[in-house]
Structure 1
Amino acid sequence: MPDPRRATPRTDQVLADERLVVAAGRLGPGLVKQAVARAQEQCRAGDVAPEDVADVAVASLPESASSLRRVLNATGVVVHTNLGRAPLSEAAVEAVRTAAGATDVELDLATGRRGRRGRRALDALGAAVPDAGGVHVVNNGAAALALVTRVLARGDDGRDTVVIARGELVEIGDGFRIPELMESVGARLREVGTTNRVHLRDYTSAVDDTTAFVLKVHPSNFAVTGFASSVPARELAGITHAGRRVPLVVDIGSGLLAHHPRLPDEPDAAGALRAGADLVTASGDKLLGGPQAGLLLGEAGLVERLRRDPFARALRVDKLTLAALEATLAGPLPPVPAALGRSAGDLRARAQAVVAAWPADVVAALDAEVVDSAGAVGGGGAPGVELPSAAISLPERLAAPLRAGDPPVLGRTVRGRLLLDLLALDPADDATLADAVRRVAGADRP
């Protein structure tokens, strides 16, 4: 018997296939060669016929040169950190495509001279929060707070201490903590109050000649209830020492720019500034619904001081972020605010339509039903707030194959059932969700 390995086509012969030539231009030659090598190995093992090697290689090619995959978010968590937090709007995606080429990000086309970097994105942010005298953007929320701390608590004027409540020394994710972040840029922290209770007198007695500013941090991913108290920003804004008003910095975290009726206890940038905050820091990729960015809003002189500090250069955002941020602020409603506005009735109707698209025997085999559900904001926003929603209940055993599908579908398991919650899912993806479950259900049958 002739050795079947000798019949395996040479690499150059397979790569000459027109489909692979086109793919090499789109994905790069490296990924295409890897696909061909895998198909050749299957041929040598006798699993693929020599004449089918090119077909197998083409079928195994990825959709793009990136390893990231689109996932259908059926978890009911609107801002899902593991899924990249806020999904961008179509307008923001289109803006990123434009910004990927040569753009006037730092050029005044009228004069042909250097212009203000990202001016239109900053103007859009200022227009969204008129209470802010000045605005600036850095690469994430932690960077915004780090820049404020480094500049205001550097100690050049003898002020290097930040006063903060013990109950607000939060961990912001992946093991990083607010106190360690601030100390890493040179500040000293003066903790006041206890874990559950802090009073205005705690702050006023802690302020002295070394105090750079008072910091109020909105707790992330948790809420302290029961015998608890905190001091609102409007009271902290009035603290003085030796005739000097002590600056107040408020980190609202989630990036809510204005009050939202469904999140009554979530602090917003406009409200914090009206309460007397000198500076507000926030994230751009949470409730705002934009790209990862750190937002700085507040008194014009302070913001300009932050912008001109050398450390700000290390935290600068790129043109893609500026483009996406501007489109998020000035364009149509982004996915995150859209999800927050969905009613349980509309979500139930959508879920029923998805189930109705399946054959009756599939519905019966899966014991599929539409149930009431409770979604969450996620991303550290509005901890404890439940958002009325609707979900499709399926057997838990489908969770793994749905995650392995194309596109992957991520739900959540509750008491032995897999719930596919539609709160965070774009209505345009309902049909894709229905098809994904139908395919898995077919493979699940004996």
Structure 2
Amino acid sequence: MSQTDPRRRIPRTDQLLADPRLTAATEGLARADILAAVHRAQDLARRGAIAPEDVLERALGELPDRVPPLRPVLNATGVVVHTNLGRAPLSRKAIEAIVRASGYTDLEYDVQTGRRGPRGAAVLQGLRDHVPAGTDALVVNNGAAALLLAVTALAAGGREVVVSRGELVEIGDGFRLPELMSSTGARLREVGTTNRTTRDDYRGAIGPQTGAIVKIHPSNFRVEGFTGGVGVRQLATLGPPVVVDIGSGLLAPDAALPEEPDASTALQDGASVVTASGDKLLGGPQAGLVLGRPDVVQRLRRHPLARALRADKLALAGLEATLRGGTAPVTDYRTVDVDVLRARADLLAEQVGGRVRRHDGVVGGGGAPGVLLPGWAVAVPEELALPLRTGDPAVVGRVEAGELLLDLRCVPAESDGAVAEAVRRAVRSADHDPPGD
């Protein structure tokens, strides 16, 4: 290569890697991906496709799209358990517990004996403390996994699961519980009709091949009119184990949600197993709760599938802190005083030039369908929705009738100022956009 060959001007790899612009653009990327982008740009320069002076810019353009970390969002929708926004926000104590558990822990270690101990013993005891005496507990990685494990352990291998046709539900994103149960190898024995199922329907379907009766709470819809169903207390007299999927994770009755099933009542009525989610009304991290008779829960615990579905140490730590750490944010949000919401909405409207209007929140997450949470929202122009969603912080409201509604129910009070500033910034951005953009 002659001294005048332009390829001599191609920057070395170490020079490119040390350039501040490349360093800033590659934060969070794997070194192998960065090197590959640099080498592709250098090769183009060696072939004469680009000038040596353009290698850095080309390397920047060759970098793979970075996958951003999960982005914090201020939930101004009025939906307390918002599945698309991560369901339940964790309490401060749960967050602290997860951080503590991020290193080595006594997850399966008995510090007294120096030997292996039971996994997650503290959180299991925390669950037992919230349900009737004599109940055992198991934690898996989500609510669907809890139901999957129960059906697999009790009815796989061609045994039958008896279930009402009115409870063969789809719970979102095309996910259907009957398909989940069928995937275990169990055979579904459907009884009754969409709107009415009787005890005789169940009794007539029970036979030597019956592995379990499954009762599923239709959590995200309601059927009204000429309807009828069979309660857990009646089902428990029919013989086979009764698996009750309550969905939302309410552990005890709540006067504010009188029609929402809870684990304690189902267990007292004779359920063999109750399954639920930990990240809905309970307000904890994603987890699947299995509560029930000790002999049945032990059967599930010893099933090989339990190992594949078990919850990790971070979920167990967060769940224990949720159980023992006082009121969870989801409870605070759904029970917040309406007058407090009005005062906060008035102040926000004054700060951003919006209009206060009545707005009912909802529980969300498939819990308490039809239950409205009276409150207030601030209406601003609909065109602010996109800049607010993509801003920092991201603010997600609800578009309705040509307006963007900002409901502060699920926004921590200390973040009200951040919402106001985000709206003002979005308004300034909209004012500076050229016409037709």
Q: TM-score with structure 2 length normalisation?
A: 0.85
Asked whether 1:235 is paired with 2:255, we answer: no
Q: Among residues 91, 96, 99, which one is paired with 2:98 in the alignment?
A: 96
Paired with 1:227 and 1:9, the residues of 2 have a C-alpha distance of 78
State the Cα deviation string for residues 346-401 of structure 1 (Å, max 9, x = none). 1111112223344xxxx1xxxx1111111111111111111112111111111111
Q: Which residue matches 1:351?
A: 345
Asked whether 1:108 is paired with 2:110, we answer: yes
Asked whether 1:317 is paired with 2:303, we answer: no
Paired with 1:429 and 1:15, the residues of 2 have a C-alpha distance of 39
Paired with 2:410 and 2:347, the residues of 1 have a C-alpha distance of 17
Paired with 1:395 and 1:175, the residues of 2 have a C-alpha distance of 33
Classify the secondary structure of the residue corresponding to 1:128: coil
Number of aligned residue pairs: give it.
403
Give the alignment of 1:295-444 within 5 angstroms: 295-358=289-352, 363=353, 368-444=354-430
Q: Which residue matches 2:147?
A: 145
Structure 2 vs 1, CA of residues 126 and 23 (structure 1 numbering), >3 Å: closer, same or farther?
Answer: farther
Q: Which residue matches 2:222?
A: 223
Runs of 5+ consecutive residues of structure 2 not aligned to the other structure:
1-8, 42-52, 433-437
Residue 92 of structure 1 deviates from its aligned partner by 1.3
Paired with 1:173 and 1:253, the residues of 2 have a C-alpha distance of 13
Q: Which residue matches 2:44?
A: none
Residue 126 of structure 1 deviates from its aligned partner by 1.1
Runs of 5+ consecutive residues of structure 1 not aligned to the other structure:
1-6, 41-49, 240-244
Give the alignment of 1:15-414 within 5 angstroms: 16=18, 27=28, 30=31, 66-131=68-133, 133-155=135-157, 160-239=159-238, 245-358=239-352, 363=353, 368-414=354-400
Classify the secondary structure of the residue corresponding to 1:262: coil
Classify the secondary structure of the residue corresponding to 1:339: helix
Contact 2:199 2:230 in 1 (8 A): yes
Greater mean alpha carbon deviation, residues 130-139 or residues 388-397: 130-139
Paired with 1:348 and 1:31, the residues of 2 have a C-alpha distance of 53
Contact 2:245 2:274 in 1 (8 A): yes
Structure 2 vs 1, CA of residues 31 and 196 (structure 1 numbering), >3 Å: closer, same or farther?
Answer: farther
State the Cα deviation string for residues 309-358 of structure 1 (Å, max 9, x = none). 11111111111111111111111322111112112211111112223344
Paired with 1:260 and 1:234, the residues of 2 have a C-alpha distance of 20
Residue 428 of structure 1 deviates from its aligned partner by 2.3
Structure 2 vs 1, CA of residues 19 and 108 (structure 1 numbering), >3 Å: closer, same or farther?
Answer: farther
Residue 8 of structure 1 deviates from its aligned partner by 12
Paired with 1:21 and 1:140, the residues of 2 have a C-alpha distance of 39
Contact 2:98 2:314 in 1 (8 A): yes
Which amino acid in the other structure matches residue 150 of structure 1? Answer: T
Structure 2 vs 1, CA of residues 119 and 423 (structure 1 numbering), >3 Å: closer, same or farther?
Answer: same
Q: CA RMSD in A?
A: 2.9
Q: Which residue matches 1:4?
A: none
Contact 2:132 2:268 in 1 (8 A): no
Structure 2 vs 1, CA of residues 400 and 28 (structure 1 numbering), >3 Å: closer, same or farther?
Answer: closer
Give aligned-pair identity as a percent.
55
Paired with 1:389 and 1:269, the residues of 2 have a C-alpha distance of 29
